[in-house]
Amino acid sequence: MSDKVTQQQLLPHLFREEYTKMTAVLYRHFGLKHIEIAEDIVSETFLKATETWSIQGIPKNPAAWLYIVAKNKAKDYLKRHTLFETQVKDAINTDELQFESDFDFTQQAIDDSQLAMIFAVCNPSNSIASQICLALQILCGFSVEAIASAFLTKAETIKKRLLRARKNLRQDNFQIKFLSEEAIQSRLDVVLKTLYLLFNEGYFSTSNDHLIRQDLCSEAIRLMLVLIESPSTNTPTVNALMALMCFQSSRLEARANNNGEIILYEQQDKNQWSQELIEKGNHYLIHAFSGAVYWQTKYHLEAAIAYWHTTPTNNDKWEHILQLYNQLILIEYSPITALNRTFAFAKVYGNEQALKEAEKLQLNHISHYHALLGYLYADTDLKKSIAHYSRAISLTKSALEKKTLGKEIERLNKKQH
């Protein structure tokens, strides 16, 4: 394989693996007011790699080469501003942007910097949607176009959202050089909510035709690992959310066919479930219950529900799931939780009893509500089942979900004839 082909494959991989680590260290050095400086330095580093490697070939240790170049560029930048301080002193706070003889790119420095930036990005002054966009751009290295694609939004809209969010970030007095215990406690709930919603955007993805966005799920798990690996944030609640993500991710491959169409839980090939991720989920779930009262957080309950979904067939499985949903709905009601509880109710008490529960919800404006009613009526009233599936199709914005529901209608129509 030629160097050129290897470079074309290697640089995107290195960008995804190293970009956010490099920027995190530089963000922490330059401060939130000057985050663009860090991004420019790292971008210039990758540009130089593209130019240099195409002529001289790929170095023996490409990642180390990138860190050395980034370090040198950062030091050169600070030297220039030290020399011309009198010309730029109005634009730069010299107490905040100080020259250092070296930059620390050790693994510990990278881990500490990434942790600090996660807490900085999850700024309560920004909306949750803006926090997720910032997380994708700053913490995950996603382009504006990629973020717009994930949210099925115009790139210009995302640009404006990011500009406003970055302005709030620069104006924030949050300290990222020394992440205090007080700062962690004040923002941990916001951080977990942001990462939870980021994962859900990938796992359920109501805003994109690609219902399963594995890249978003992977990034959420990667950021959760940063929390898990830090003693200051390795709490039972963090472990509960990590367990949930592992259990849910274990079924990603089985949730869609080759055309990207959703495969319902009961029809999934269990051989495609990742046993490695299930075992990791079990590991984190054990730590989540260490000294924790599980009903105190929704993450514990949702992780326990996800655990039962990944276990082999068990006569009491759905009874356990229903009990957990009964507790979850008391902690934090949501229409989706109510619908999922009703599905579990049907598994325990039958479709006829579940229909009575479902009709109490009166969620007529939600596609998933009519999809559930379509499922519950399928064995007893084909006409009603088809009518609800049709209503679900009219309410969903997802082309793939429309296709999946349409196939159910086709199946039921064949049973009528």
For range 249-261, the mean pLDDT: 83
**Helix, strand or coil, per DSSP, at residue 191:** helix
pLDDT digits (tens, 9 = 90+) for 268-325: 888 999 999 999 999 999 999 887 555 579 999 999 999 999 987 777 899 999 999 9
pLDDT value, residue 99: 44
pLDDT value, residue 204: 78
pLDDT value, residue 82: 63
Query: Would 68 be classed as within a structural domain?
Result: yes
Tokens in use for 188? 């941990």
pLDDT digits (tens, 9 = 90+) for 186-238: 899 999 999 998 898 888 765 454 555 788 899 999 999 999 999 999 999 99
pLDDT value, residue 170: 86
For range 63-92, the mean pLDDT: 74
The larger pLDDT score, comparing residue 242 to residue 21, is at 242
| pLDDT at residue 54 tops 70 | yes
Of 105, 122, 152, which residue sits at a domain end? 105
Which residue range forms the structural domain that includes residue 92? 1-105
Query: Would 394 be classed as within a structural domain?
Result: yes
The answer for residues whose C-beta is within 8 angstroms of residue 204's C-beta and 6 or more apart is 211
Rounded to whole angstroms, the Cα distance separating 346 from 376 reads 8
**Res. 86 pLDDT band, cuts 50 70 90:** very low
Query: Would 253 be classed as within a structural domain?
Result: no
For the chain, how many structural domains are there in total?
Answer: 2
What is the chain's Cα-based Rg? 25
Of 72, 105, 138, which residue sits at a domain end? 105
pLDDT value, residue 321: 96
Query: Would 210 be classed as within a structural domain?
Result: no
pTM for this prediction: 0.84
Tokens in use for 397? 């914005």
pLDDT value, residue 337: 94
Query: Would 206 be classed as within a structural domain?
Result: no
Query: Would 20 be classed as within a structural domain?
Result: yes
* Neighbouring C-beta atoms of residue 269, cutoff 10 Å: 9
Distance between alpha carbon 286 and the CA centroid of its chain, in Å?
Answer: 22
**Res. 101 pLDDT band, cuts 50 70 90:** very low
For range 388-393, the mean pLDDT: 96
Query: Would 27 be classed as within a structural domain?
Result: yes
